[in-house]
Amino acid sequence: MNNSLLTLVGGSALLLYAIESLSKTIQYFAGSRTRVWINLFAGNRLAGCVLGFVLAIVMGSSGAVTVMLVGLANARLLNLQQVLAVTLGAIVGSTLIVQIMAFQISHYAMLMVTAGVTLGFFTSSDRAKHFSRTILFLGIMFLSMNLIKDAGNVLEQNKAFQHGVQYFSHRPLAALILSTYLTAMIHSSAATIALIMSLLVAQGSTLQEALPWILGANLGTTSTGFLAGFRGGILGKQTALAHFLVKVVGVAVVYPLMSQFAELVGHFGGELERQIANAHTAFNLGLAVLFFPFISLGAKIVVRIIPEKEDTGPFTFHYLDSRSLDTPELALAQAHREILRMSDYVEEMVEKAVVLFENPVSRSIDELREKDQLVDFLNKGIKMHLTRLSQSEMTKQQVHREFELLFRTSDLESIGDVVEKNILPLVKKTAKKGYTFSDEGWGEIVSIHSKVMECLQLSTAFFSSSDRALAVKLALLFEEVEEMVAESNEKHVIRLHQGIKETLDTSSVHLDLVGFLQRIAKLSLNFTQLPDLRGEDR
């Protein structure tokens, strides 16, 4: 009894580990293509549904897809209707792993483990290593199911275990609740169904006895999205609620009709494992077909329950979500959006800083200092978010993209520091001493400032699009800034020789200010000069 119980627990833990590891390994092959797929297909409902189906296969779980969708919704990369379409496809795609489990190939488990380990030893490329891990974890998954079945066969002779099985077979609601709770705890409906599949096959149970467990697993898998969504933004909460409501309606419809549903699925034949897999697929396919025509109506209902109102202060992250760190492409996309937000604040700081020389209001100076604190806050948060990513689970392109984002964040923070630590003290100095620039000198500063703002805007546009033409244009614009600064300095010296009072008063301020503006332009150019993956300049 004790050995069998340990085998059951150990086999269950091994099963959960194999499914989770298999999901992460398969995600590697999607890599950066995930975001491309979303951009291409999510705009059309039917295409979005197909996309959700594919993503669930790639990620091995509709719950994992929901977490990703929550992150995309929070980052404003998808709207609610697009999310609902992808979700419906995902709940169907996630059933494929259970269909694979139902195949009678568990006696090849050790062969798959051996093949996976051997291939991993004799290969060096990342793709081949991840392929070997895929085979390895598939083997471990089938091996763990064998262990659970063997334990179930032995435990069948135990009276306490028999009593437990009989208790739940006569109390389907209790079985549904326990299955929901178990799935919510382990965050995997596939693992729950695999466990129940192995035990019920060992006990010689029927499909009708298995149905409450299947329904509970489907309901429990929504907990993953709830945990992700209800600590995120409004769209994230709406996404999690929509996934939950779809499953609740499905369970509410099928539960009273379980005998009829079992009879319908039974017509397709097969052993109990296949019948359980077919029931799981039929349930989710039915939900997708039922709700697909009503996506717009469903979105309106969800919005009525959770209105689109959100009071977010400046010192919060609008797009970063730590729960997306298991999906590097999503985490990188969120960081990209947060950096664009950071760019807006930095551009605002540079634009307003020079204006303060004409109207040095203390309140405006304080506002810019607060903006710099916000930029520092975002800089720290974005870097922490990115450095928590596991490089072992990232493609080379994703690692390179992470470096680009970190580099861009540092440059923006440096520009903010130039404004706060260098330019604002000059504003206070001129205001305190009552200095004013000469008309010609001020005109030069305004012209240089205008060009620097163009540099910043082009830099942001390049960061968003990676359009090489913008990088070339920015490099030429920076050369113009350098020429303007050199020319301004020469003219400034001439005015000094002419003894113009305003020039004499503001000489150090003028020279420092144009130098700081030139540094800002240089910092905006830095990102475009990063080497690409081939080691070439951009």
pLDDT > 60? residue 265: yes
The pLDDT of residue 21 is: 76
CA-based R_g, the chain, Å: 30
Last residue of a domain, one of 239, 271, 305: 305
Mean pLDDT to the nearest integer, 501-527:
89
The pLDDT of residue 534 is: 34
State the Cα torsion 10-11-12-14 to the nearest 10°.
Answer: 90
pLDDT > 90? residue 160: no
Residues 330 and 294 reside in one and the same domain = no
Residues 287 and 343 reside in one and the same domain = no
Share of the chain above pLDDT 70, in %: 82
The pLDDT of residue 310 is: 52
- For the ranges 20-29, 192-201, 275-284, 448-457, the lowest mean pLDDT is seen at 20-29
* Tokens found for residue 21: 């590891």
The pLDDT of residue 82 is: 84
256 or 239, which is more confident? 256
- Which of the four pLDDT bands, split at 50, 70 and 90, describes residue 59? low
Structural domain count, the chain:
2
Tell me which residue of 191, 183, 189 sits closest to 284, measured CA to CA.
Answer: 189
Tens-place pLDDT, residues 135-158: 888 788 778 777 776 776 666 566
Residues 93 and 21 reside in one and the same domain = yes
The dihedral of CA 436, 440, 446, 449: what is its sign?
negative
Residue pair 237/230 in contact (Cβ under 8 Å)? The answer is yes
Tell me which residue of 26, 6, 62, 67 sits closest to 193, measured CA to CA.
Answer: 62
- For the ranges 198-202, 446-450, 481-485, the lowest mean pLDDT is seen at 198-202
- Asked if residue 51 is part of any domain, the answer here is yes
- Asked if residue 112 is part of any domain, the answer here is no
d(CA 508, CA 426): 9
20 or 513, which is more confident? 513
Share of the chain above pLDDT 90, in %: 27
d(CA 123, CA 166): 50
- Asked if residue 121 is part of any domain, the answer here is no
Tens-place pLDDT, residues 309-351: 654 556 778 788 776 777 787 788 889 999 999 999 999 999 9
Residues 381 and 452 reside in one and the same domain = yes
Residues 362 and 441 reside in one and the same domain = yes
The pLDDT of residue 449 is: 93
Residues 366 and 298 reside in one and the same domain = no
pLDDT > 60? residue 435: yes
pLDDT > 90? residue 451: yes
- Which of the four pLDDT bands, split at 50, 70 and 90, describes residue 86? confident
The pLDDT of residue 535 is: 41
The one-letter amino acid code at 84 reads L
- Asked if residue 538 is part of any domain, the answer here is no
DSSP code of 42? T
Residues 46 and 170 reside in one and the same domain = yes
CATH (domain of 482): 1.20.58.220
187-191, 247-251, 530-534: which is most confident:
247-251
- Asked if residue 64 is part of any domain, the answer here is yes
Mean pLDDT to the nearest integer, 511-518:
92
Last residue of a domain, one of 305, 339, 371: 305
- Which of the four pLDDT bands, split at 50, 70 and 90, describes residue 495? confident
- Which of the four pLDDT bands, split at 50, 70 and 90, describes residue 200? confident
Q: Which residues contact 518 (CB under 8 A, 6 or more apart)?
A: 448, 452, 481, 482, 485
467 or 394, which is more confident? 467
- Asked if residue 98 is part of any domain, the answer here is yes
User: CA distances (Å), 243 to each of 220, 295, 323, 377, in order?
Assistant: 11, 12, 17, 33
- Asked if residue 115 is part of any domain, the answer here is no
The dihedral of CA 35, 38, 39, 40: what is its sign?
positive
DSSP code of 264? H
Residues 299 and 332 reside in one and the same domain = no
Domain hosting residue 289, numbered range: 2-104+146-305
- For the ranges 139-148, 170-179, 241-250, 511-520, the lowest mean pLDDT is seen at 139-148
The pLDDT of residue 400 is: 86
Residues 333 and 361 reside in one and the same domain = yes
Q: Quote the Cα angle for 286-288-294, to 5°.
A: 115
- Asked if residue 116 is part of any domain, the answer here is no
Residues 236 and 357 reside in one and the same domain = no
The pLDDT of residue 26 is: 60
The pLDDT of residue 261 is: 93
d(CA 238, CA 235): 5
Q: What is the mean pLDDT of the chain?
A: 82
Residues 451 and 496 reside in one and the same domain = yes
CA 318 remoteness from chain centre:
13
Residues 263 and 357 reside in one and the same domain = no
Residue pair 388/343 in contact (Cβ under 8 Å)? The answer is no
* Tokens found for residue 516: 């700081």
- Which of the four pLDDT bands, split at 50, 70 and 90, describes residue 71? low
Residue pair 392/508 in contact (Cβ under 8 Å)? The answer is no
* Tokens found for residue 210: 């298995």
DSSP code of 537? B
Mean pLDDT to the nearest integer, 41-61:
76
pLDDT > 50? residue 537: no
Q: Which residues contact 483 (CB under 8 A, 6 or more apart)?
A: none
Last residue of a domain, one of 251, 271, 305: 305
> Model pTM?
0.59
d(CA 235, CA 232): 8
In residues, how long is the chain? 538
